[in-house]
Structure 1
Amino acid sequence: MIRAVFSSFAFVLLAALPLRAEVEIQEVTSPGGIHAWLVESHEVPFVSVEIRFQGGASLDAPGKRGAINLMTGLLEEGAGEMDARTFARERDALAASYRFDVSSDSLAVSARMLTENRDRAVGLLRQALVAPRFDQDAIDRVRAQVISGIRSDATDPNAIAGQTFDRIAFGDHPYATPISGTEASVNALTRDDLIAARDRVIARDRLYVAAAGDISAEDLGKMLDTLLGDLPETGAPMPGPAPLNLAGGVTVVPFDTPQSVAVFGQRGLDRDDPDFFAAFVMNQILGGGGFGARLMEEVRVKRGLTYGVYSYLMPMDHAALIMGQVASGNDKIAEAVEVIRDEWARMAEQGATEDELAKVKTYLTGAYPLRFDGNGPIARILVGMQMEGLTPDYVKTRNDRIRAVTLDDVRRVAADWLDPAHLQFIVVGQPQGLETTN
């Protein structure tokens, strides 16, 4: 109940905060040498902290797929002298909130805490990071939850499509397999495997931290050393670049469903590519802008083939893609695939129009300040910027970079990067008029 009360209280406070794109970012280094970014704001008596450990589930040891995912799910299931129930009671008594998530590229820790309880909330979170218990009853409970998710994914067309795409695209790289592992690999994991998994990813040599809210730079430095100073210095080495085995064409995965799901993708740009902003704007016109985008206009509005279709840039740590997804009736998906490929080619050959570019610039620059709508979102933005190698002034220059994209830039990146011949479609369902071509 206390946790629910804090959530409601925090929502009211967040709603009262001004929207701030012109945030003032301080770079903080703790006495122990831990770096962080801070947006200091004393309007509301709480602070949000975002922590990232680069590498994520891609650092699973050979033969231990799913270990880091399972370990992450256990970080809040007891620590130090506290079992899972005692830990939960302590957290709720402090009106603190912790969240632990893992992806292919990072393990994320999100924390919110009231100023008056900050020291004790930090101490409790520290226990979860440096001394998780991994009690057998907790392992068995969370393992069952993971396996339930794996079984659910096996009957979910969207999950099947995504996993099939990854398996084809990434070969023997960790990206090729689900971070949750398989039922067999998860069942085989032991407590020792989970301890080893923690040590592979939770380490200071891959650490990024951001904070926003009611805390000074000096106090944040002290907090960083208390919270993170006792972590191991180094973790497992990062995997190398992922291959991209995308020959183009269609792969059909038969599945008994009245509606087919299609995932499509091709090679993309790294986040630090000089053309990334132009490509970002180009994709917004092509498939990223909802009802204003070409794919939505051609596939849904004009032809009624789907309720939604979209594309997006997907720069990861070890690969980069331009991706998209659509769902349509089995009798319509073949036409949807054809229209998407035609629009891919039309953008590559002709680029965009002045009107499309102007509208997208207005939208992208106007929407950006709305992302800074509270301490939590600000801290998440800041830690993401660090991981992408951006500098603190990015929040002040980002919209200028969008405005600087010209029509010639959009046409050039579309011609250079969009590759309809190598656009790979994975279609899950019983599509009429579509067969596997590769």
Structure 2
Amino acid sequence: MRRSASVYWNGIFFGPRAVLPVLGRILLLVLMSLSLVSPAAAQSQTTRITRVVSPGGIEAWLVRDTTLPLIAMEFAFRGGAAQDPPATPGVASLTASLLDEGAGDLDAAAFQRKVADLAMEISFDANRDELRGSLRTLGENRDAAFDLLRLAVTAPRFDEEAVERIRAAQLASLRRRSTDPNSLASERWFALAFPDHAYGRPVDGTLASVPTITQADLQTFTRNTLARDTLKVAVVGDIGPEELGRELDRAFGALPAKATLRPVADVAPKGIGTVDVIPLNIPQSVVLMGTTGLERKDDDFIPAYVLNHILGGSAFSSRLFKEVREARGLAYSVYSYQVALEHVGLWFAGTATKNERAGDSIRIIGDEFRKILDEGPTQTELDEAKSYLTGSYALRFDTSSKIAGQLLQIQIDDLGIDYIDRRNALIEAVTLDDLRRAAHRLTEAAKALTVVVGRPAGLSGG
């Protein structure tokens, strides 16, 4: 349940002399977060990535940019919701939501007031494999901002008032999602695919589990997970390597040296070839089809990535779009995408269509999966995919926050500090033979575990 702490400044009273300076700094921070040089120039800046190691041994990747007095940092600790106690899903998510709700000698209100005074942003989030954080600050407030970050990760308070308030918000979100067809489809798919694995548990917990999470659960998760040995950091902005080294030690130096993580096994999805229907009185059925994919570290991941783009990764030129929407008018949107978790690779397709056409949509999507795996794409499709994927890559680097996010993900995926320079060449090098080889390895992907939410005519399952 991601929240940006910066939103809370609206609820804090400032005297007349304080309002304009604070609002001005916040506006500047927002503008700088949204503005950078052109995407192509921003991407070229990332070739100047510096590997920084602090005096205390904490590593970060830095792209120094003095164009604007802004520092953007993204960081992650390995061990997200997969580290939740099996009987209590939602601990990681609730912990992440509470890290900026009071720390050290600052209760929640005082912490948020400090964030607002500094016109900074700080937020935390948990996914299945990591707990992630984000920091935005003006250069002039750098020391104070990193000190607040230090408090958040090393001395969160988990006060009763804050815990109950955020718990209530998490429960409200879960209740809303209990009638949201997309959320229902996703959570059911993972529960069926991984019934005896951490990935089968909902990241944000359940209406039954979240009320049982204790302060001790939060403290134990924090103590076991937030440690220096699994920390990855990416920084973009107006700060030099030596200064960054000092700030890294300021923020993270007091964390434990090593995390205490329970083992998470590699896994393959179960239930492939079956259909599960969740009845819901809505005019359209939401369809989610998932199957086996390739892990990010696999040598054939890039060919599989190109293959997916041709199948359903392109919004308007993919095979699924042409067959499901253009040729038959079954749905407004249809798509496919890869998911590379730490312990499994997955391949998904999805759409929303009239209840009476859900069966047809599932059949056509399955047919297109089988066709591209059996026959492969054409040279024209490959050339068009390469052109789009290489040409659009620069759009991932048009803000400092996006650059930091890309650098962090590259570290998590262990792709190497020169990956940005190599990535387009890897795409360009893909041949039809590479696609056929990847397709052959993905033969089992012709079958899927399908979850349908709605009142699909003629379909039953579960």
Class of the TM-score when normalised by the shorter of the 2 chains: over 0.9
The question of whether the paired residues in 2 share the 8 Å contact of 1:260 and 1:430 is answered with yes
Match of 2:17 in 1: none
Aligned partner (choices 199, 202, 206) of residue 175 of structure 1: 199
CA distance in 1, matches of 2:446, 2:428: 31
The question of whether the paired residues in 2 share the 8 Å contact of 1:171 and 1:243 is answered with no
1:43-192 matches, within 5 Å, as 43-192=67-216
Say whether residues 1:303 and 2:322 are aligned partners. Answer: no
45 and 420 in structure 1: CA distance in 2 versus 1, 3 angstrom threshold: closer
Deviations 1:265-311 (A, max 9, x none): 11110111111111000100000011110001100111111111111
Letter in 2 for 1:194: L
Structure 1: tracts of 5 or more residues without a match: none
CA distance in 1, matches of 2:210, 2:258: 25
1:273-288 matches, within 5 Å, as 273-288=298-313
Match of 1:366 in 2: 391
The question of whether the paired residues in 1 share the 8 Å contact of 2:121 and 2:136 is answered with yes
Letter in 2 for 1:138: A
CA distance in 1, matches of 2:23, 2:211: 34
62 and 3 in structure 1: CA distance in 2 versus 1, 3 angstrom threshold: farther
SS in 2 for 1:431: coil
Letter in 2 for 1:18: S
Say whether residues 1:36 and 2:36 are aligned partners. Answer: no
Letter in 1 for 2:101: E
Structure 2: tracts of 5 or more residues without a match: 1-9, 11-20
Aligned partner (choices 425, 428, 439) of residue 400 of structure 1: 425
SS in 2 for 1:297: helix
Give the CA RMSD over aligned residues: 1.5
308 and 167 in structure 1: CA distance in 2 versus 1, 3 angstrom threshold: same
420 and 62 in structure 1: CA distance in 2 versus 1, 3 angstrom threshold: closer
SS in 2 for 1:163: helix
Match of 2:367 in 1: 342
Pairwise CA distance, 1:256: 1.6
CA distance in 1, matches of 2:351, 2:22: 38
SS in 2 for 1:290: coil
CA distance in 2, matches of 1:231, 1:405: 43
Letter in 2 for 1:362: S
Say whether residues 1:427 and 2:447 are aligned partners. Answer: no
Letter in 2 for 1:37: W
Aligned partner (choices 350, 355, 367) of residue 325 of structure 1: 350
Q: Which aligned segments of 4 or more residues in structure 1 are displaced greater than 6 angstroms?
A: none
Letter in 2 for 1:77: E
User: Which region of structure 1 is more displaced relative to structure 2, 99-108 or 411-420?
Assistant: 411-420
Match of 2:3 in 1: none
Match of 1:17 in 2: 37
Pairwise CA distance, 1:116: 0.6
Say whether residues 1:211 and 2:229 are aligned partners. Answer: no
Letter in 2 for 1:364: L
Identical pairs, percent? 41
The question of whether the paired residues in 2 share the 8 Å contact of 1:210 and 1:379 is answered with yes
Pairwise CA distance, 1:325: 1.3
CA distance in 2, matches of 1:323, 1:292: 18
The question of whether the paired residues in 2 share the 8 Å contact of 1:173 and 1:243 is answered with no
420 and 392 in structure 1: CA distance in 2 versus 1, 3 angstrom threshold: closer
The question of whether the paired residues in 2 share the 8 Å contact of 1:167 and 1:176 is answered with yes
CA distance in 2, matches of 1:6, 1:103: 31
Pairwise CA distance, 1:144: 0.4
173 and 4 in structure 1: CA distance in 2 versus 1, 3 angstrom threshold: farther
The question of whether the paired residues in 2 share the 8 Å contact of 1:334 and 1:431 is answered with yes
Report the number of matched residues. 437
TM-score between both structures, scaled by the size of structure 2: 0.92
CA distance in 2, matches of 1:278, 1:192: 46
CA distance in 2, matches of 1:67, 1:61: 8
Aligned partner (choices 315, 321, 326) of residue 290 of structure 1: 315
SS in 2 for 1:332: helix
Letter in 2 for 1:281: V
CA distance in 1, matches of 2:259, 2:87: 18
Aligned partner (choices 361, 364, 389) of residue 414 of structure 2: 389
SS in 2 for 1:362: helix
Deviations 1:355-406 (A, max 9, x none): 1111111110000012111211111111110000111111111000000001
TM-score between both structures, scaled by the size of structure 1: 0.96
Match of 2:293 in 1: 268
User: Which region of structure 1 is more displaced relative to structure 2, 134-143 or 235-244?
Assistant: 235-244
Match of 1:195 in 2: 219
Pairwise CA distance, 1:313: 1.1
Deviations 1:67-102 (A, max 9, x none): 121111111111111111111111111111101111
Pairwise CA distance, 1:199: 1.3
